[in-house]
Amino acid sequence: MEHASKVRTCLWFEKGGHEAAQDYVKLVPDSRIEAVRENGQPDDPMIVEFNLAGAPMMILTGGPHYKLTPAASISVLTEDQDETDRLWDALTAKGGEPGRCGWVVDRFGVSWQIVPKRMPDLLASDDPGVVGRVSEAMMQMGKIDIAALEAAAEKEPAHG
């Protein structure tokens, strides 16, 4: 048996891991299912190995022993507002829960961070005022709004 990657992130699911992996590879471009190991459960395979845009992943459907937690999340660096909106809308559909600061929990219970590339760029500014204003704006958001972050970065501080 050949393995596509020596290291991969594993998510423990109680059930529905194969369905989740199929949804994820449709959602993120340049993704694919690499292997499915049924272990006698064709309706809900025990192991699904997949790749999300170059990041090796695995779902282990192992029953109710462990629960997913936001302490581990899938972070996606998006190119622009359109991609941010598309992912956010897809992940919050069918029972997903929007969170704050770009975080969302999908209908399977997996936490995601949907981060436009522009956000870390703005937060890396040499100007502490820009960093502060962008951080403050981000803390008020659910889905990240790139134009609002850029407006916060450009805002002149009040003089008093």
pLDDT tens for the chain, 160 residues: list them: 566 678 999 999 999 999 999 999 999 999 999 999 887 666 778 899 999 999 999 999 988 999 999 999 999 999 999 999 999 999 999 999 999 999 999 999 999 999 999 999 999 999 999 999 999 999 999 999 999 999 999 987 665 5
**Are 81 and 22 members of one domain?**
no
Q: CATH code at 132?
A: 3.10.180.10
| Phi–psi pair at 101, nearest 5 degrees | 60, 35
For residues 8 and 54, membership in a common domain is answered with: yes
61 and 8, same structural domain?
Answer: yes
**What predicted TM-score, i.e. pTM, was given to this entire model?**
0.89
73 plus 148 within the same structural domain: yes
Number of domains present in the structure of the chain: 2
What is the pLDDT at residue 129? 95
Same domain, 104 and 133: yes
Q: Which of 43, 66, 89 is the last residue of a domain?
A: 66
Cα gap 101→110, rounded to integer Å: 16
Q: What is the residue type of 127?
A: D
What pLDDT score does 92 carry?
96
CA distance 42 to 141: 41
pLDDT in the model for residue 152: 96
**Beta partners for 61?**
13
Structural domain of 148? 68-160
Same domain, 60 and 103: no
